[in-house]
Amino acid sequence: MTIKKLAAVATLVGSSSLVSAQELEITITNLTHGIYYTPFIVAAHDGTTSFFRSGTPASPELQQMAEGGNIAGLETIFTAANANITSNPAGGLLAPARSTTFTMSTDDGNNYLSVGAMLLPTNDGFAGLNNWRIPSEPGTYRVNVNAYDAGTEANDEIVGSGAPGEPGFPNPPPVGVVATGGTGVTTIETNTNVHIHRGNLGDDDPTGGKSDITNYVHRWLNPVVRVTVKVM
Amino acid sequence: MLNTKSILTTAIASSLLLLSACSDNDDGFPETPAPTPPAPAPVTFQFEVTVTNLTNAQPMSPVAVLLHNEGRIWTTGEPASVALETIAEGGDNSQILALDVALAAKGGESPLAPGASQTMTISNLETAPERLSIVTMLVNTNDAFTGLNAYDVSNMAVDESISLRVGSYDSGTERNSERANTIPGPVSGGAGEGFNAERDDIDIVTRHPGIVSQDDGFRTSELTQAHRWDDPTMNITIRRLQ
């Protein structure tokens, strides 16, 4: 993760141990060339809430998001934690290189930010920012976010289901995976913990090959999302 | 800080004065200071830029370095300018160097080989530059580039330096076919096409997805496993000299 402070005003806001509520303007940018994001979940919460942790198994709620883009389960978790939540700020899929900007007000103590969404087309890839400490100092901060594999589904790279536990990935418009007939890249998921995604393999065969994903369109390099947080 | 030129001018003037007044001191250094201070020298802003190609086998086209106060070289999510398309597809930096916003522009003297470094200096007189930009093409690609976009140097003090590592971008102006006839770099013997006004990709600038290569199942690709890369692709060190 790279954190870059663009500007800061030297004030003593937040110098006491009580962190007051904050006004945030957040921009989420899709940095990839050919990947769409399902609706984002954005939550400001306390320091004891995590929606994923690398090297540990995904929760069922994370699995729902990573395999099918369903953030209802994570909304429930964050609501129970008294988080401030923004769901689906882009109003649907966020296309390559597109951004969405919105404001959030955070309650006292909700000074950690988490952001998540599924990458399409992938089986269970997601972009995740976990427990980023929201600075108390006003300014604009940029955070680069990497792509993770939830470890819950084999990366067969075949158009199929977005339901947890079912193979394949959903292909809603305008994701537009048009290749068919792939035989499947793999049927096993050897690392069942959350880990950095190894990327799509894909192939160049629209009617066969191993994958329904197109290798020269649907690959990426990290980082895959930028979150710009303006602390008012 | 006086610049070298004004010091020389003072020395020459002093020397001439001495020649006319005293013939036994010819070392050019007056025994007493010249009574009249020199006119204020123009302030010079000078930066030393060192770039290192961090890739395995992607030579970079001669870099373009700009000092400017206005504008950006690219914006993620927006279409590339023709000047950017020209360097990203063909490695030709001439249009970037000629941008109207440039207070000063400097082009690399040669391509930057994988693993190699180059250092150059760029100056402009009097006007304080606020931004520094660098652009170069990864030449064994269709339209990949790397660089630094309108980086704020306005707060850099003399002798201050900063090192940055930057990633790769796709200008979005040419489909990543990886075919030899579309790649101008050594992989095609330089015979592949560079700039082409047609825009047959998504026509927005994004981070680069990386190349696939024939070794990873792209049968019509001219590229091999050796041409793959991951970010970061270039190390940049900027030092303000004056």
Task: Give me the domain span that covers residue A102.
Answer: 1-232
Expressed in angstroms, the distance from the first to the final Cα of chain A is 23
Judgement on whether residues B93 and B20 belong to the same structural domain of the protein: no
Express each pLDDT in B14-59 by its tens digit: 333 333 333 344 444 555 555 677 777 667 899 999 999 999 999 9
Beta-strand relationship, B102-107 and B117-125: unpaired
pLDDT band, very low/low/confident/very high, at A18 (cuts 50, 70, 90): very low
The answer to whether the CB atoms of A202 and B212 lie below 8 A apart is yes
Judgement on whether residues B217 and B144 belong to the same structural domain of the protein: yes
Judgement on whether residues B31 and B137 belong to the same structural domain of the protein: no
Express each pLDDT in A38-72 by its tens digit: 999 999 999 999 999 999 999 999 999 999 999 99
Express each pLDDT in B57-78 by its tens digit: 999 999 999 999 999 999 999 9
Express each pLDDT in A94-144 by its tens digit: 999 999 999 999 999 999 999 999 999 999 999 999 999 999 999 999 999
Please enumerate in sequence order all residues whose Cβ is within 8 A of that of A215, keeping only pairs 6 or more positions apart, or say none: A200, A201, A202, A203, A204, B212, B216, B217, B218
Q: How confident is the model at residue B48, as a pLDDT? A: 98
Judgement on whether residues B96 and B81 belong to the same structural domain of the protein: yes
Judgement on whether residues B89 and B28 belong to the same structural domain of the protein: no
* B31, B48 contact by CB (below 8 A): no
Q: Is the pLDDT of residue B213 over 60?
A: yes
Q: How confident is the model at residue B44, as a pLDDT? A: 84
Q: Is the pLDDT of residue B2 over 80?
A: no
Q: How confident is the model at residue B18, as a pLDDT? A: 36
A34 interfacial to chain B (CB closer than 8 Å): yes
- Considering its fold, how many domains does chain B have in total? 2
Facing A31 at nearest CB: one of B76, B176, B219 = B76
Cα A219 from Cα A208, distance rounded (Å): 18
Q: Which residues of A touch B176 (CB under 8 A)?
A: 216-217
Q: How confident is the model at residue A13, as a pLDDT? A: 40
Top residue of A122, A204, A220, A224 to mutate, by most chain B CBs within 10 Å, is A204
The answer to whether the CB atoms of B168 and A221 lie below 8 A apart is yes
Tokens read off for A185 = 């890249």
- As a whole number, mean pLDDT of residues A136-162 equals 96
Judgement on whether residues B32 and B113 belong to the same structural domain of the protein: no
Q: Strand order in A225-231's β-sheet? A: A3-8, A139-145, A225-231, A22-30, A99-106
Q: How confident is the model at residue A33, as a pLDDT? A: 96
**Phi and psi dihedrals of A108, rounded to 5?**
-50, 135
Judgement on whether residues B28 and B89 belong to the same structural domain of the protein: no
Task: Give me the domain span that covers residue B201.
Answer: 44-240
pLDDT band, very low/low/confident/very high, at A34 (cuts 50, 70, 90): very high
Judgement on whether residues B108 and B5 belong to the same structural domain of the protein: no
Number of Cβ within 10 Å of residue B99's Cβ equals: 18
Q: How confident is the model at residue B176, as a pLDDT? A: 97
Top residue of B54, B202, B206, B213 to mutate, by most chain A CBs within 10 Å, is B206
At residue A59, what is the residue type?
A: S
Express each pLDDT in B91-102 by its tens digit: 999 999 999 999
Cα A51 from Cα A36, distance rounded (Å): 21
* A185, A214 contact by CB (below 8 A): no
Q: How confident is the model at residue B106, as a pLDDT? A: 97
A31 interfacial to chain B (CB closer than 8 Å): yes
Cα A184 from Cα A176, distance rounded (Å): 18
Judgement on whether residues B61 and B8 belong to the same structural domain of the protein: no
Judgement on whether residues B171 and B215 belong to the same structural domain of the protein: yes
Facing B76 at nearest CB: one of A97, A216, A221 = A97
Judgement on whether residues B35 and B78 belong to the same structural domain of the protein: no
Cis status of the peptide bond prior to A57, with omega within 30 of 0: no
Express each pLDDT in B147-171 by its tens digit: 999 999 999 999 999 999 999 999 9
CATH number of domain containing B174: 2.60.40.2130
CATH number of domain containing A65: 2.60.40.2130
Per-residue 3-state assignment (H helix, E strand, C coil) for chain A: CCEEEEEECCCCCCCCCCCCCEEEEEEEEECCCCCEECCCEEEEECCCCCCCCCCCCCCHHHHHHHHHCCCHHHHHHHHHCCCEEEECCCCCCECCCCEEEEEEEECCCCCEEEEEEEEECCCCEEEEEEEEECCCCCEEEEEEECEEECCCCCCCCCECCCCCCCCCECCCCCCCCCCCCCCCCCCCCCCCCCEECCCCCCECCCCCCCCCCECCCCCCCCCCEEEEEEEC
- Considering its fold, how many domains does chain A have in total? 1
Count how many Cα atoms sit within 13 Å of the Cα of residue B4 in the half-sphere of its side chain: 3
Judgement on whether residues B197 and B97 belong to the same structural domain of the protein: yes
Q: How confident is the model at residue B32, as a pLDDT? A: 59
Instruction: Please say whether the dihedral angle defined by the alpha carbons of residues B151, B155, B157 and B158, taken in this order, is positive or negative.
Output: positive
Q: Is ipTM over 0.95?
A: no
